[in-house]
Structure formats: structure tokens, C-alpha cells
């Protein structure tokens, strides 16, 4: 049985895209997300790394230190983690990161002495000063949609003066 011309042509000229798809599939970045664009974005990152690996294999650096695709990806991760390690801040799951000053509201708003009246709410919030539960929020923050919990006596005064 003879081979069809289209298949013969495909087999003779395959290599570029097929090889790239095979290599991307080997060590694909897998992140589960409900956003439709996230897998597309990760595929673009995978293809970019594959293209960089192809250029690396053709460079003189490949002759000095022969890395396979997995080693190349690990080297990329190592370089970026060393470069940006000082920027990383581990935040426990379910918590929102706080600014370095310790308060969630910038000092420009917090210390302006305007409309900072305590307002009682049924749902407790975490106090920004002592981190305990409080039934009071600042009226200014409640109006803006980002209520900050505060105890009306000690914490309220401390929050708005320091």
C-alpha cells in the first residue's frame, strides 16, 4: 500500500511546530483557574520558554553547560527567585496583605481628621490596631465600601494619631 502524498509531505516537513507542541506538553505549567484567559496566558509563557530553550541550544553557552528543557526551566525559576526574593512576602491563605506601615488605610486619609466617626455594625470586623474583633468601623471607610474595624476607645484614638 502506498503512502498518500499529503502524509508523506507532512512527515518530511514536520519538526518545528510539532516538536514545540511536544516539548511544551512535557513540562506544561498547570494552574487551575476559573478565568478563561489563564490557560492561554500560561501556554504563551510555555511557548516563550520553549523558544528561549531553542535559542539556548544554538548558543555557545549550551556547549559549556548542557541543560535539558527541565533543567533550563529550573534555571529560569532559580534566577528569578534569587532576583526578586526580597519582594516576596508570604501571606497566609485567606488573608489580605497589609501595607508595611501596619495599617490598611494610607496615613494621608487616616490622619486627615475629617469624618472619622465610629459607626456600629452588626458584622464584626478585625480591628486594625489590636487585631481583635470589633463591632465598630470608621464612618468614612464604611461610606467608601472598605470598612476598617476599630474599637471606639483606645484603638480609635491610637489609629488616628500615629
Asked whether residue 76 falls in the same domain as residue 115, the answer is no
Region 1-17: mean pLDDT is 82
Q: Say yes or no to pLDDT of 144 above 80.
A: no
- Kindly report the number of other CB atoms within 10 A of residue 145's CB atom: 6
Number of folded domains that form the chain: 2
Inside any domain, residue 127? yes
Asked whether residue 15 falls in the same domain as residue 79, the answer is yes
Of the three residues 31, 53, 87, the one that is the final residue of a domain is 87
Inside any domain, residue 129? yes
pLDDT tens digits along 103-143? 566 666 667 777 667 778 888 888 877 888 888 877 666 55
Asked whether residue 151 falls in the same domain as residue 119, the answer is yes
Closest CA to 40 of 56, 53, 54, 24: 24
Asked whether residue 130 falls in the same domain as residue 73, the answer is no
73 or 152, which is more confident?
73
pTM: 0.46
Q: Which of 125-134's residues contact partners 24+ apart within 8 Å by CB, and which partners?
A: 125/149, 127/151, 127/155, 128/103, 128/104, 128/155, 128/159, 129/154, 129/155, 129/158, 129/159, 130/155
81 or 16, which is more confident?
81
pLDDT tens digits along 59-99? 998 988 889 999 999 999 888 888 877 665 555 666 554 44
Asked whether residue 13 falls in the same domain as residue 58, the answer is yes
Separation of alpha carbons 137 and 125, rounded Å: 8
Enclosing domain of residue 147:
108-161
Asked whether residue 63 falls in the same domain as residue 130, the answer is no
88 or 153, which is more confident?
153
Inside any domain, residue 97? no
Separation of alpha carbons 123 and 136, rounded Å: 9
Asked whether residue 62 falls in the same domain as residue 114, the answer is no
pLDDT of residue 107: 66
Inside any domain, residue 143? yes
Amino acid at each position: 500500500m502506498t503512502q498518500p502524498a499529503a502524509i508523506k509531505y507532512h512527515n518530511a516537513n514536520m519538526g518545528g511546530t510539532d516538536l514545540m507542541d511536544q516539548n511544551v506538553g512535557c513540562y506544561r505549567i498547570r494552574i487551575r483557574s476559573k478565568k478563561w484567559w489563564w490557560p492561554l496566558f500560561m501556554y504563551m509563557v510555555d511557548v516563550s520558554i520553549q523558544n528561549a530553550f531553542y535559542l539556548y541550544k544554538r548558543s555557545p553557552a549550551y556547549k559549556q553547560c548542557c541543560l535539558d528543557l527541565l533543567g533550563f526551566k529550573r534555571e529560569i525559576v532559580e534566577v528569578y527567585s534569587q532576583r526578586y526574593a526580597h519582594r516576596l512576602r508570604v501571606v497566609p491563605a485567606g488573608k489580605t496583605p497589609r501595607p508595611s506601615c501596619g495599617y490598611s488605610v494610607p496615613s494621608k486619609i487616616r490622619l486627615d481628621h475629617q469624618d472619622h466617626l465610629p459607626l456600629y455594625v452588626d458584622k464584626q470586623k478585625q480591628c486594625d490596631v489590636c487585631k481583635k474583633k470589633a463591632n465598630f468601623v470608621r464612618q468614612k471607610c464604611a461610606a467608601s465600601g472598605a470598612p476598617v474595624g476599630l474599637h471606639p476607645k483606645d484603638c480609635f484614638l491610637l489609629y488616628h494619631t500615629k
